[in-house]
């Protein structure tokens, strides 16, 4: 378990889609929105863990059709979120503040984005079994515990990102409606960029 934790910490040092998504949602909607986004990502990861335990992720690894279907559904969803963010106008306010974003919506979006990334399923299917031991503990239980540990570490990591990016957002970005408009467009670009990255992913 100690080795697993150290390896996961090293993986967190490499910025991925979860990092950009969490930061962009924090700057757009504030600290609570960012934390909820991180939790949504973590829940998506835990569902991937359960899928790996059940062997469902093996289907994505062996079936090119299933991989492509999930990949393009995820990409279309990201493109949709990106376009909506680009065309959305910031609400006019006398004293502009961080936008009032519904946290349950952010949670669902983050969870679905994580779930619709087939590479994440394959990652958990290939990564978690490497840390299973012959200790007599059932393999299923070990995989679930490893996945839950990853999820808890992910929540802690994204919460730290939220606290840092929220400070930056308050000081730099939230001073005018004009900047809020540009912020929405920046978030849209992030979504579209993640969608393009997903489209370019291969099964190998």
Within a domain: 10: no
Question: Alpha-carbon distance 8 to 127, whole Å?
Answer: 10
Tokens representing residue 46 in the block: 């835990």
Question: Alpha-carbon distance 80 to 192, whole Å?
Answer: 8
Residue numbers of the domain that contains 50: 17-90+99-199
Looking at residue 204, what is its pLDDT? 59
Within a domain: 162: yes
Looking at residue 89, what is its pLDDT? 60
Asked whether the predicted pLDDT for residue 64 surpasses 70, the reply is yes
Within a domain: 24: yes
Within a domain: 2: no
Cβ neighbours of 54 (radius 10 Å): 10
Looking at residue 2, what is its pLDDT? 85
Looking at residue 173, what is its pLDDT? 53
Total domains, the chain: 1
The residue among 102 and 50 whose pLDDT is bigger is: 50
Within a domain: 111: yes
Within a domain: 63: yes
Within a domain: 81: yes
Question: Alpha-carbon distance 39 to 47, whole Å?
Answer: 12
Question: pLDDT tens-digit profile of 99-152?
Answer: 445 678 889 888 998 888 887 888 887 788 888 887 778 888 888 899 899 999
Looking at residue 91, what is its pLDDT? 46
Is the CA virtual torsion 175, 81, 71, 159 positive or negative? positive
Question: Alpha-carbon distance 110 to 33, whole Å?
Answer: 11
- Residue 121 CB partners (closer than 8 Å, separation 6+): 48, 51, 52, 56, 57, 60, 61
Within a domain: 8: no
| Per-chain mean pLDDT for the chain | 79
Asked whether the predicted pLDDT for residue 96 surpasses 50, the reply is no
Looking at residue 38, what is its pLDDT? 92
Whole-Å CA distances, 112 to 91, 94, 96, 164, 194: 27, 35, 30, 25, 13
Question: Alpha-carbon distance 204 to 4, whole Å?
Answer: 24
Question: pLDDT tens-digit profile of 147-183?
Answer: 899 999 999 999 999 998 887 766 655 555 555 566 6
């Amino acid at each position: 378990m100690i080795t697993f934790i150290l390896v996961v910490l090293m993986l967190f040092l490499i910025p991925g889609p979860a990092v950009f998504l969490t930061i962009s949602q924090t700057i757009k909607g504030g600290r609570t929105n960012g934390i909820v986004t991180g939790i949504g990502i973590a829940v998506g990861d835990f569902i991937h863990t359960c899928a790996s335990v059940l062997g469902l992720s093996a289907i994505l690894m062996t079936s090119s059709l299933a991989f492509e279907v999930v990949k393009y559904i995820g990409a279309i969803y990201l493109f949709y979120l990106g376009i909506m963010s680009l065309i959305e106008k910031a609400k006019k306010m006398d004293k502009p503040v961080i936008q009032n974003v519904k946290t349950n919506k952010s949670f669902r979006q983050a969870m679905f984005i994580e779930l619709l990334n087939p590479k994440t399923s394959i990652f958990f299917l290939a990564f978690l079994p490497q840390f299973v031991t012959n200790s007599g503990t059932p393999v299923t239980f070990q995989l679930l515990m490893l996945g839950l540990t990853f999820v808890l570490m992910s929540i802690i990591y994204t919460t730290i990102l939220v606290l840092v990016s929220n400070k930056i957002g308050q000081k730099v970005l939230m001073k005018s409606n004009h900047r809020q408009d540009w912020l929405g467009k920046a978030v849209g670009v992030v979504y579209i960029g993640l969608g393009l990255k997903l489209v370019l992913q291969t099964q190998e």
